Each structure stands twice: as structure tokens, then as C-alpha cells.
Structure 1
Amino acid sequence: MDPDYDVFDAIVAGGSLSAAARAMHLSPAMVSKRLARLEERLGVRLFHRTTRKLALTDAGERFHGDVAAILQAVRDAESRLIGTRSEPAGTVRLSAPTSFGRLHVAPKLHAFLVHYPRVRLELDLSDDMVDLYGGRYDLAIRIATTIPPNLVAHRLGGSRRLLCASPRYLERHGPPATIETLAQHRLLAAAGQMPWRLVKGRRRFTVEGESHVRTNSSEVIRELAIIGVGIALRSLWDVEQALASGALMPVLPGWEGPDDLAVHAVYPRGPSTPPAITALVAFLQETLADASWDAVRPRP
């Protein structure tokens, strides 16, 4: 199989030459050279190039569909081969949300790698919903209400969401008196996280509005809330330490996000699951089993 297929697939997945270079541990110049070599050999242009981005040509889009299927078939063959061995081995490409990955996945990986020395991990942190069928990832952490039926899902924990703000913000602006006045405050949310749908018992309320600071990073929203910029709706797994220390305080206690959100480890359905993926999922379930994401820890 032409090794430039991997480069082509990585460019499509990353959306740019630089992103593909980072993913493949190559220089951008080398990625550009290999793409040019592939296009020259095929005799077609695969991408429209502008100063800001790359976009697949019609020919490139058709070709990528075939290449992605070939790459997936090769990975499936490798998985079946590795699956015949008793010891988990091979590469697992794991994607996780940025904040969750830093707080709850990365600190635990050393123990997993010590226990399974033949497994090689590639960890990508991103708040984007990655495509598990595009061939770039084997396993992903999804924080969602529902999981598509073409994915196998293993629950890792709940994701209770509370309104919170720093004491500094509450001293300066005062807490909202009622849920109806919440929208009059400075609200903080990452792109795509508003409007807020909140519940209190049988009551339901939707908070419309825009984030006081626009960002695509949930981590940035947490830090902005801690320094006193505004009120945020955050999951306990993200802010439990800040709540326990008093860096953040609950706002409008009783009003929360619906309890249908949970943390899952997901991977594509297939004829067999590589032992390395099975082992990593089991490890995450075991190490996160005692997480208290459904209850606020009392402040010491």
C-alpha cells in the first residue's frame, strides 16, 4: 500500500498540512512534498488550496472514500491478528475532550502502560466530535446524552452540571435572585454550549443568551469562571476541585443541567475488538469507578 495514502488521510482528518504533520510526526514541508508526489503520480489535483485552508476537490473526495476504506481494512486486519494474541498489544489511538483528558485520563496512563508494556498509546485532546470511522481513532471519550447505534459504548461515569461562579464575581455583581434573572448576568459558555436547558424538580427553564467571552475551549470557560468573569454551567468532573476549595461557589442551588448526560468510552462496532482496546476500556472503568461526579464534595 502506498505510504502516501496515510499522509493524504491525515490531511483530510486534520484539515491542514500542519495538522497532518503534527499527527504523523513529520515536518510540514515533508507532508507537502508527499502530497505533491501523490497528486503527480495520480495525475489529479486532490485539494483546492487557498491561503487559509484546504478543501477536497470532487476527485479528491471520491478518492478519499476509497482510501479510507482501504486503510480501515488494513487496520481491521491488524486488529484481528493482534486479537489472536493473549497479551494486549499494538497501537490504540485515543481521543478525549481536552479538559477531561488532562484531568482524568492523562494522569492515569502511566499505570496502564506499565501493566501493558506492549501497548502503544496515541492520545489526542480535542473538544471536537471526532469521526471514529475515518480511520484516525480507535477509541474516544464521549460526554453525551445518546450514543449512535454503530458505536459500542461503556459508561465511565455521570456528568452532573451545576451553575457556579467565583466569590469575587458574586461579591461584585451579587447572585441572581431567580432563574428568570440569570440571563441578566455575565454568562460563560464554550461554542455550542448555549442555550442552557436547566431543571429543578419538575420545573424546566431555558436560558438564552451569548457567552460574555467567545471561545471554543471548555478549559478556558472554567478558568474564566474561577477568576471572576461570570457564571458558568459546568460538569462536576471539571470543577469539583474548585468547588471543594471555594474557588467556585454554586449559583441558584437546585437548578442543574438534566441528568441525561454521561461520560462514555466508545469505539466502532466490528467483528472483533482488539484486546488492547478492551484492556484500556476496562482500565478506565476501574480507575474512574470511585469518581464523585454526581455529588458535590463538602468544602474542607
Structure 2
Amino acid sequence: MDPDYVLFARVMEAGSLSAAARVLNISPAMASKRLARLEARLGVRLIQRTTRRLAATDAGERFHADVVAILGAIAAAEARAAGARDEPAGVLRVSAPTSFGRLHIAPHLHRFLDAAPRVELELNLTDANVDLIGERVDVAVRIAAEIPPSLVAHRLGSSQRLLCAAPAYLAEYGAPRTIGELAKQRLLAADGQWPWRLVNGHRRRQVDGRSHVRTNSSEIVRELALAGVGIALRSVWDVGDALADGRLVPVLPGWEGPRDLGIHAIHPRAPAVPAAVRAFVDFLRGTLDPAPWERPAGQDQVARAAAPLVDTGMAIRQRTPSFPSVNEVRAPS
């Protein structure tokens, strides 16, 4: 296979010369030179270059489809020849949000490692949205409303978010009864998590605020909320256990974050998805289907904890439980 064909395919997948160059370990200048050489040899413009983006020409789109098919056939042929088409092996770089990785991936990793002993796993936990191409990440768990079309997404579950606080905090400062009263409370959020967008049926509100403690760690926000420092907007997958056993209680029941967020396993588009990537995505699906925080029993426990609260001075008591059910719609992958 002509290496310039591989370069062209990587440019189309990554959307930029510089990102493709990083994947192939060459300089952007060399990538540009080789792409120009390919176009000169073919006698046709494949990509329109502007200062802001790259866009394939009609000829480039057709050529890309042919190249992807060829690369896929070659990869499949090599896998068959090596007898390793379905055997996960090699380095697998995985990225996941810090709290989610610690709570819902790390405790189960031994099963994946036992089933795929030839895989060399590298797990990086970070709350940043990593550049999969630039950082050479094979699989990432991303919590987002939308996934770029350059990536393949497999939906793992939903991410419902509730306002919550420790009973000790509410006993000392009182529970807010309206969204407007949040401005008088101690609020907690990590850098980049403002403003809060909240919904209640058809009502929509946005809360701009300042965290009582500034931090770049979502896990620190969780610990501060548990310690009674303030009110936080947290995902049920993160604080469901604390809501169920009463260490945290919902604030302003009925108000929650929009349900547009999904939890996805994502990986770059490729002519042939490596066996290790397929195996890890299957592992995540098997571990999180159904997701622990969406299982009926867990919902019942959280529902009881989510009952509207009445501030009675230093005491907090509960009324009839009221908690919206979580309905997952699995997107095709």
C-alpha cells in the first residue's frame, strides 16, 4: 500500500494535516508535501485547503471511499494471515473521566485483563476531553450530549444530574425553596462547570454562580458536598449510593440537569477496528448493561432518598417520595 494513501486516509479521519502527522509521527510540513505529491501524481485536487479547515473535493470523497475499502481489506488479510483476527493483543490506551473510571471501570478491570491477557492496558483518568487522534487514545469514555461524527460512539447509559447536599449543611444553612434562593447558598462546582442549566418539566433556568471552593477536580466537589460544605449538581452515577444511604439529600426536588447527556465509549473511525478496541467496548457494555445507577432496585432506593425535604429548623424530615424515573434509549452504534 502506498504510504501516501495511508496519509490521505488519516487526514480525512482526523480532519487536519497536523493531527494526521502526529498519528504517523511525521512533521506537518512533510504531511503537506506528501499530500501535494499524491495530488500531483493523480492529477486531481483531493482536499481544498483554507486557513480554518480542510474539505474534501468530490474527487477526494470518491478516492477516500476507495482507499478506506482497500485499507480495510489489507488489514483483514493481515489479521487472517497472522491468525489474530479475533484475538485482542498489543497496547490499548484508554481514557475515562476520573470519578467514573474509579467507580465504574477500575473495580471490574480484572475481568477484562483475565479475558484478554495479551493486551497491554494503559488507563488514563482525566476530566478533560482528550484529543483521541492527537493523544493516540484507542478508546475513551465520554459524557456528552453529542459526539463528533469523526468518532464512533457506543452508548453505555444516561447521566442524570441532581442538586444535592449533606443533611448537616441544610440543617445549618436551610434548604432553598426556589431556584432564586440558590444565590444565597454555598454552591460547589469544578472549574468549567458553570453555569448550571436546570430543567423542571417545561421550565428552564440557568444558574450562574461561583464555587465556594475553587477546584479543578470533580471528585473534590463530591467530597466537599459529603462533608457539608455546600450544594452541588452531581450525577446519579456518582452520588447514587450517598443519596440512598442519606449522606446526601436532594435539593429542590423536580429540578435537575437536562437529560441530554449520555455516557459513551468512543474510538476513532478506522477501516478495521482493532480486536482490543472491540473487546474493551464489549467489556464496558457487559459491565454497564444495565448500568448500576439505572437498575430498578437502585432507583427505588434513590427515590426514597429523593423525597421533597421540609426545613424544620435544625431538623430535616421527608415527605412522600417523588423522583423521576430514568429511561435509557440505547442509540445504534
What is the aligned residue count?
Answer: 237
Shift of 1:183: 1.9
- d(CA) in 2 for partners of 1:214, 1:135: 28
Q: What are the equivalent positions in structure 2 for 1:164-203 lying under 5 Å apart?
A: 164-203=164-203
| Partner SS for 1:198 | strand
What percentage of aligned pairs have identical amino acids? Answer: 59
Shift of 1:272: 1.0
Shift in alpha-carbon separation, 1:66–1:241, aligned structure 2, 3 A = closer
| Partner SS for 2:301 | coil
- d(CA) in 1 for partners of 2:179, 2:22: 49
For residue 297 of structure 1, what is the aligned residue in structure 2?
A: 301
For residue 144 of structure 2, what is the aligned residue in structure 1?
A: 144
Shift of 1:88: 1.3
For residue 285 of structure 2, what is the aligned residue in structure 1?
A: 285
For residue 251 of structure 2, what is the aligned residue in structure 1?
A: 251
- d(CA) in 2 for partners of 1:140, 1:66: 19
For residue 208 of structure 1, what is the aligned residue in structure 2?
A: 208
For residue 68 of structure 1, what is the aligned residue in structure 2?
A: 22
Q: What are the equivalent positions in structure 2 for 1:237-248 lying under 5 Å apart?
A: 237-248=237-248
- d(CA) in 2 for partners of 1:116, 1:184: 53
- d(CA) in 1 for partners of 2:133, 2:233: 31
For residue 269 of structure 1, what is the aligned residue in structure 2?
A: 269
- d(CA) in 1 for partners of 2:137, 2:254: 38
Higher Rg: 2
Shift of 1:283: 1.0
C-alpha RMSD of matched pairs (Å): 2.6
For residue 133 of structure 2, what is the aligned residue in structure 1?
A: 133
Which amino acid in structure 1 is aligned with residue 24 of structure 2?
A: I
Shift in alpha-carbon separation, 1:68–1:176, aligned structure 2, 3 A = same
- d(CA) in 2 for partners of 1:268, 1:233: 31
Which amino acid in structure 2 is aligned with residue 293 of structure 1?
A: W
For residue 100 of structure 1, what is the aligned residue in structure 2?
A: 100
For residue 114 of structure 1, what is the aligned residue in structure 2?
A: 114
Contact 2:96 2:125 in 1 (8 A): yes
Deviations 1:275-297 (A, max 9, x none): 11001101101111122435463
Question: TM-score scaled to structure 2, two decimals?
Answer: 0.66
Shift of 1:91: 1.4
| Partner SS for 1:92 | strand
- d(CA) in 2 for partners of 1:172, 1:106: 36
- d(CA) in 1 for partners of 2:293, 2:106: 18
Question: TM-score scaled to structure 1, two decimals?
Answer: 0.73
Shift in alpha-carbon separation, 1:138–1:109, aligned structure 2, 3 A = same
Which amino acid in structure 1 is aligned with residue 222 of structure 2?
A: R
Shift of 1:117: 1.0
Contact 1:240 1:296 in 2 (8 A): no
| Partner SS for 1:255 | coil
The alignment status of 1:155 with 2:155, answered yes or no, reads yes
Shift of 1:136: 2.7
- d(CA) in 2 for partners of 1:174, 1:86: 58
- d(CA) in 1 for partners of 2:236, 2:198: 15
| Partner SS for 2:290 | coil
Which amino acid in structure 2 is aligned with residue 193 of structure 1?
A: Q
Deviations 1:168-227 (A, max 9, x none): 100000100111211211110011111100000000111111111111100000000000
Give the 4+ runs in structure 1 shifted more than 3 A. 63-67, 76-84, 292-296
Shift of 1:135: 4.2
Which amino acid in structure 1 is aligned with residue 95 of structure 2?
A: S
- d(CA) in 2 for partners of 1:111, 1:185: 44
| Partner SS for 1:267 | strand
Contact 1:166 1:226 in 2 (8 A): yes
- d(CA) in 2 for partners of 1:126, 1:282: 22
Which amino acid in structure 1 is aligned with residue 241 of structure 2?
A: Q
- d(CA) in 2 for partners of 1:231, 1:269: 40
- Which sections of structure 1, spanning at least 5 residues, go unmatched? 1-62
Shift in alpha-carbon separation, 1:277–1:79, aligned structure 2, 3 A = farther
